[in-house]
């Protein structure tokens, strides 16, 4: 982002722009930030805010690199230790590489109680890590006293506990508290009363909150509401009140209420005051007292450090007792004198010298988002403390000897001090499969490298796969990639970059998709070799598939995902938890076919229409055209066949395309002009012919009322940039698919005007075609071809052959694949122009290219802060999975850094399904039956009955029904061999079948059973 011109580099920042918006991005590009402490937490924060794009960052540190740093700071290498470099100077060029638009400087001067703090006045935000509490208070007082205040953030990770504190001054105005799109509500009624009650359309809940503001438009009857703003009170999910409407005209129909975003003021207290009466965000509602308990414990730690000039020794019980005494006296100084939790104090004391890098990734991601809030005024700031602890990890280690936690002089000492050597070894020996090397994937690999996953001498391997190549937009959050990696495979590049963090990692990288087509690579044998599977995917379908493979092979799975500032993590452990497929998100609402085709009511509808037009005209039709002519050798052969009465699928449309094929740039422009008339004028005229403006329904109400909007024809104006833009982009795409050459000169206004002036635009002739108005109707698969159309096709094809316009080159087109991120290809130009012209025709508020691109390209907004936080939480759960912890230790998480909210919940316990007579199963259970070559279906059914005491009444293989007694011919199948029924491939040793059983009473549904794995031959034990 060039801060001088405030121009945003969309190729780099596009996904983040959808999270923050341009105003916040521009404010960020003018901000100067100071960060002290470039240890494991400081480097996380630096990475995230440099990727985000502040103007300048100063990283400050006075410590030298040590071996310890190799396990906590992913940008410190072994040569930095041998060269005795300062940590800030060692990491400077590596963090600066992350974003060329950010100026990064290092400072190594001492920062202590005697330092003159006036140098901080040049910064808008100051972040402190690894700074004593006394100095934190001094710097906070200085920052708070400035006009305007310097935004102050402090963050620390000690062992298994972390804290984050924010103070943005007495008053801090936020322009947008949530970052959500303003809601638009279609109105069905407004009462004449005090207060007036507004009801929205049925099945469309408003999802508003009392106190929010709305403005109205397009209200008929009660028109004085249009343009006015009202504060609302929620009455029900479908209605709200807006104040006195009793003196207004009666409501007739229509109207849209649009949410108005209003700035909100937040108030902060200084650190000194907040220490005694802290305002904390509760992250785990099962232990709401935890934040205050950690607050006391971490204050006690600060006092211990001040009293003894050191931290408590690793695993030292004496130091833990001393810290507990301090905690008791600290509690007395707090306003509410809260109870001290001895376990929290003890574990903090035992592990405080250590450092849990995934915890730093989580708290660092959250802290970085607070920095962005501080410099932009976008999203609700944290008020004012956040504490996250990982006592779940250490509590099961209670009986582990203290020598397990002592340093061994390697890069894992900081981790060992928290989780002990045995658990470190288990991580080193781990076989892990990471699916996806995008934003979360890169962060996960960093976490694996710091934890030493897959570094064991004899065991341990990290396997990664991702079919994608690196694009420029990835560099904004996929921090292992640099500009010179663009167009290289993500997995290979990520593997190489991970070895820079930890050269002892064993890593295999692939470029395969994980899907049914690659099951020969990612076979059952492959899965059973893995200890854990971690997904870093961006779609539900792939998650469901991998989950099903993990369940079939009894493998633990940790899933996560982000969308903008929101994120989730989910832990799936065999025999303990439900699986990903156990719960189903509601399906995404599809836009009804008739809405898209004839009755759009919102800009999303017109964008989807334009996207569909692009797909149909430039991808689908050209593909069908090519497929047809690959099937039939020549136009003469096709003519002969249809003349002899043969029906060739798709023939009519292909001949129509061939006969109208443009053969010059002029004809491409003419075609674009004719399409303009058809889409944006004739369509409107036809609809108004079918349904005149005064059309009424059977109940007497108007046909054209909200949400149906009457269309009005758009008159072509050459000088209108929108009209001109449609012609040029459509002509360019037509020329591309029809292989018509064009030059830069062809795009000149003079050339286009000359062509368009000569175009004879067909006049509108109304047709009696039935317009679909049923919202449940789907798009028809095939439109029948009339006999007249067939005769016409013969005539057109004969004409093309006679005029030598059905030669080999004429029988080929070039389909286009939609690519949203290449501005030179004209794809987004066409979709933006077509969508906004349709919006104009229906009097819908248009959308700029930026918003159109997000909706048409189905872009998932993304930002490095949420990605880092989520991947840290996944790695923390990974430690528990590797340790074989009990079900109550695992936590799923949902977070939204914008609000901010963070909710930890226990995993869902696996459900047990009863069959009958005490026989039951869970999703993790699998029955087995061993057969032999001549084993019949009847033998299989008998084998299940003998082994499990219940007879199957139905046998299914995937979607194929092998045996359903009521189906014709299925009884005969009982005599067939399993080999013949299943038809396995030569290397297939078994097949997974689903069985069900007869209900106990007639009329009820069959009882489900677990999967049955049938082995074709007895396996040797």
Sheet holding 103-107, edge to edge: 103-107, 56-60, 32-36, 125-128, 151-158, 161-167, 385-389, 280-281
Whether cis (ω within 30° of 0) applies to the bond prior to 281 is no
CA pair distance 564, 840, nearest whole angstrom: 30
Q: What angle do CA 78, 79, 80 make, to 5 degrees?
A: 90
**Quick one: the chain helix, strand, coil %, rounded to 5?**
40, 20, 40
With 0-12 CB in 10 A as exposed, 13-18 as middle and 19+ as buried, what is 958? exposed
Query: For the chain, how many residues are written?
Result: 1021
Q: Hey, which residues does 241 pair with through a beta bridge?
A: 197, 233
Long-range contacts of 503-508 (CB under 8 A, 24+ apart): 504/452, 504/455, 505/448, 505/449, 505/452, 505/453, 505/454, 505/455, 505/462, 506/454, 506/455, 506/460, 506/461, 506/462, 507/454, 507/461, 507/462, 507/463, 507/464, 508/461, 508/462, 508/463, 508/464
Taking only Cα atoms into account, the Rg of the chain, rounded to an integer number of angstroms, comes to 33
Tokens standing for 798? Answer: 């004969």
CA pair distance 953, 967, nearest whole angstrom: 12
With 0-12 CB in 10 A as exposed, 13-18 as middle and 19+ as buried, what is 689? middle
Tokens standing for 906? Answer: 């226990």
> Among the options 418, 424, 594, 651, which is catalytic?
594
Instruction: Specify the pairing of strand 557-563 against strand 566-572.
Output: antiparallel
Instruction: Specify the pairing of strand 184-190 against strand 197-200.
Output: antiparallel
Name which of 521, 507, 578, 519 is nearest 545 in CA terms: 519
Tokens standing for 903? Answer: 């909710």
Q: Does residue 651 have an active-site annotation?
A: no
What lies within 8 Å, CB to CB, of 605 at 6+ separation is: 591, 595, 596, 844
Whole-number Cα distances in Å, 286 to 283, 293, 578 = 9, 14, 20
CA quadruple 265, 271, 274, 276: dihedral, nearest 10: -170
Q: Where are the alpha helices (DSSP H) in 758-909?
A: 787-802, 827-841, 849-856, 864-882
Q: What angle do CA 564, 566, 570 make, to 5 degrees?
A: 130
Cβ 840 vs Cβ 714: under 8 Å: yes
Cβ 251 vs Cβ 257: under 8 Å: no
CA pair distance 239, 918, nearest whole angstrom: 50
Cβ 263 vs Cβ 173: under 8 Å: yes
What lies within 8 Å, CB to CB, of 286 at 6+ separation is: 904, 905, 906
In 10 A of CB 772, how many CB atoms? 17
Name which of 237, 110, 249 is nearest 185 in CA terms: 237
Q: Give the three-state DSSP class for 170.
A: coil
- Residue 191 backbone dihedrals phi, psi, to 5 degrees: -80, 150
Question: For residues 447-486, b (16+ Cβ closer than 10 Å) or e, as one string?
Answer: bbbbbbbbbbeeebbbbbbbbeebbbbbbbbbbbbeeebe
What lies within 8 Å, CB to CB, of 754 at 6+ separation is: none
Catalytic residues: 594
């Amino acid at each position: 982002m060039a801060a001088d011109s405030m121009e945003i580099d969309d190729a780099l920042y596009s996904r983040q722009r959808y999270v923050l918006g341009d105003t916040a991005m521009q404010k960020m590009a003018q901000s100067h930030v100071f960060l002290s402490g470039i240890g494991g937490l400081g480097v996380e924060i630096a990475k995230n805010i440099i990727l985000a794009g502040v103007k300048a960052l100063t990283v400050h540190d006075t410590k030298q690199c040590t071996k310890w740093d190799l396990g906590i700071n992913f940008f410190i290498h072994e040569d930095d230790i041998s060269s005795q470099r300062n940590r800030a100077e060692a990491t400077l060029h590596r963090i600066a590489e992350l974003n060329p638009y950010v100026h990064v400087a290092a400072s190594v001067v001492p920062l202590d109680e005697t330092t003159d703090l006036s140098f901080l006045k040049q910064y808008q935000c100051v972040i402190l890590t690894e700074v004593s509490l006394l100095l934190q208070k001094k710097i906070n007082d200085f920052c708070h006293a400035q006009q305007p205040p310097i935004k102050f953030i402090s963050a620390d990770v000690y062992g298994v506990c972390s804290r984050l504190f924010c103070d943005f001054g007495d008053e801090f105005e936020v322009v947008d508290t949530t970052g959500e799109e303003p809601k638009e509500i279609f109105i069905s009624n407004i009462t004449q009363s005090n207060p007036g009650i507004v009801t929205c359309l049925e099945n469309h809940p408003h999802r508003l909150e009392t106190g929010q503001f709305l403005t109205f438009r397009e209200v008929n009857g009660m028109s004085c509401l249009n343009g006015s703003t009202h504060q609302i009170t929620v009455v029900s999910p479908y209605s709200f009140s807006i104040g006195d409407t009793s003196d207004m005209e009666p409501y007739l129909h229509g109207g849209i209420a649009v949410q108005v975003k209003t700035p909100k003021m937040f108030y902060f207290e200084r650190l000194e005051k907040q220490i005694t009466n802290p305002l904390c965000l509760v992250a785990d509602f099962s232990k709401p007292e935890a934040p205050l308990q950690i607050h006391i414990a971490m204050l006690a730690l600060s006092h211990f450090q001040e009293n003894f000039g050191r931290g408590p020794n690793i695993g030292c019980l004496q130091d833990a007792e001393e810290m507990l005494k301090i905690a008791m006296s600290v509690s007395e100084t707090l306003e509410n004198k809260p109870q001290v939790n001895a376990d929290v104090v003890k574990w903090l004391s035992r592990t405080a010298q250590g450092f849990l890098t995934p915890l730093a990734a989580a708290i660092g991601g959250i802290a970085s988002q607070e920095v962005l809030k501080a410099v932009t005024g976008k999203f609700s700031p944290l008020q004012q403390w956040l504490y996250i602890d990982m006592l779940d990890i250490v509590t099961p280690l209670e009986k582990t000897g203290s020598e397990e936690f002592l340093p061994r002089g390697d890069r894992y000492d900081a981790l060992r001090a928290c989780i002990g050597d045995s658990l470190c070894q288990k991580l080193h020996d781990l076989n892990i499969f990471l699916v996806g090397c995008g934003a979360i994937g890169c962060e996960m690999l960093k976490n694996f490298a710091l934890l030493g996953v897959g570094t064991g001498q004899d065991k341990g391997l990290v396997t990664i796969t991702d079919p994608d190549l690196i694009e420029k937009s990835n560099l904004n959050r996929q921090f292992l990639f640099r500009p010179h990696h663009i167009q290289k495979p993500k997995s290979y590049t990520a593997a190489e970059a991970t070895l820079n963090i930890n050269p002892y990692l064993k890593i295999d990288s692939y470029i395969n998709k994980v899907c049914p087509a690659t099951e020969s690579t990612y076979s059952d044998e492959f899965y059973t070799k893995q200890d854990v599977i971690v997904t870093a995917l961006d779609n539900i379908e792939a998650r469901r598939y991998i989950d099903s493979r993990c369940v079939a092979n009894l493998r633990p799975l940790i899933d996560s995902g982000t969308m903008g500032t929101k994120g989730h993590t989910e832990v799936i452990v065999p025999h303990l938890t439900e699986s990903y497929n156990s719960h189903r998100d509601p399906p995404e609402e599809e836009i009804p076919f008739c809405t898209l085709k004839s009755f759009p009511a919102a800009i999303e509808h017109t964008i989807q229409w334009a996207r569909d037009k692009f797909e149909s005209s430039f991808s689908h039709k050209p593909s069908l055209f090519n497929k047809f002519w690959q099937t039939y050798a020549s136009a003469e052969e096709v003519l002969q066949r249809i003349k002899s009465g043969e029906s060739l699928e798709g023939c009519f449309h292909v001949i129509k395309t061939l006969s109208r094929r443009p053969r010059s740039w002029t004809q491409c422009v003419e075609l674009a002009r004719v399409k303009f008339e058809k889409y944006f004028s004739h369509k409107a005229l036809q609809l108004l012919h079918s349904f005149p403006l005064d059309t009424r329904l059977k109940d007497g109400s108007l046909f054209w009322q909200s949400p149906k909007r009457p269309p009005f024809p758009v008159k072509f104006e050459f000088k209108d940039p929108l009209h001109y833009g449609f012609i040029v982009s459509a002509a360019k795409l037509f020329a591309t698919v029809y292989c018509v050459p064009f030059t830069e000169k062809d795009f000149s206004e003079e050339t286009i005007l000359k062509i368009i002036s000569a175009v004879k635009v067909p006049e509108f002739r109304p047709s009696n075609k039935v317009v679909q108005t049923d919202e449940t109707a789907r798009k028809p698969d095939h439109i029948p071809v009339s006999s007249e159309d067939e005769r016409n096709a013969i005539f057109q094809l004969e004409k093309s052959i006679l005029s030598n316009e059905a030669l080999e080159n004429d029988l080929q087109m070039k389909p286009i694949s939609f690519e949203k991120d290449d501005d030179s290809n004209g794809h987004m130009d066409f979709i933006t122009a077509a969508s906004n012209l349709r919006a104009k025709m229906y009097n819908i508020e248009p959308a700029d290219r930026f918003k159109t691109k997000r909706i048409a390209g189905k872009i998932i907004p993304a930002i490095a802060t949420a990605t880092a936080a989520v991947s840290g939480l996944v790695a923390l759960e990974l430690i528990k999975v590797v340790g074989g912890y009990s079900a109550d230790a695992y936590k799923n998480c949902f977070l939204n850094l914008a609000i901010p909210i963070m909710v930890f919940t226990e995993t869902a316990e696996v459900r047990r399904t009863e069959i009958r007579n005490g026989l039951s199963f869970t999703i993790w259970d699998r029955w087995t039956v061993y057969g032999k070559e001549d084993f019949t279906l009847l033998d299989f059914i008998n084998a299940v009955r003998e082994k499990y005491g219940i007879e199957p009444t139905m046998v299914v293989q995937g979607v194929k029904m092998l045996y359903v007694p009521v189906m014709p011919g299925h009884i005969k199948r009982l005599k067939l061999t399993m080999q013949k029924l299943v038809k396995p491939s030569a290397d297939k040793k078994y097949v997974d079948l689903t069985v069900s059983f007869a209900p106990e009473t007639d009329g009820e549904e069959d009882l489900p059973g677990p999967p049955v794995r049938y082995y074709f031959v007895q396996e040797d034990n």
